[in-house]
């Protein structure tokens, strides 16, 4: 018998379903999209913590989650020079 046969099949837990629902509501409320809006995207937004990374933390007070570099939301804000 292989070691893989001893492991239970992974399945989402109640907490996973709860978090998924919370994040779905957050995405809807913030108009969070997985694509840029014209030339506005997360990696050129003031709130994107590490612009050189493809996945980084958004520190906008209404989000505070990991987002992709090419994502966009309604709170996009230009980085001032």
From first to last of the 81 residues of the chain, give the pLDDT tens digit.
Answer: 556 678 888 999 999 999 999 989 988 888 899 999 999 999 999 999 999 999 999 999 989 999 999 999 999 999 988
Q: What is the pTM of this model?
A: 0.76
Per the domain annotation, does 69 fall within a domain? Answer: yes
- In eight-state DSSP terms, residue 35 is S
Best CA proximity match to 29, nearest among 65, 2, 4, 68:
65
Give the domain extent around 56.
30-81
Per the domain annotation, does 59 fall within a domain? Answer: yes
Structure tokens at 21: 């629902």
Per the domain annotation, does 1 fall within a domain? Answer: no
Per the domain annotation, does 80 fall within a domain? Answer: yes
pLDDT of residue 2: 59
How many domains would you assign to the chain?
A: 1
């Amino acid at each position: 018998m292989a070691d893989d046969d001893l492991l239970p099949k992974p399945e989402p837990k109640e907490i996973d379903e709860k978090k998924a629902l919370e994040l779905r509501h957050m995405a809807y409320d913030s108009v969070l999209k997985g694509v840029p809006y014209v030339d506005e995207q997360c990696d050129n937004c003031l709130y994107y913590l590490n612009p050189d990374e493809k996945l980084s933390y958004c520190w906008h007070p209404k989000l505070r989650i990991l987002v992709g570099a090419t994502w966009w939301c309604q709170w996009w804000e230009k980085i001032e020079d």
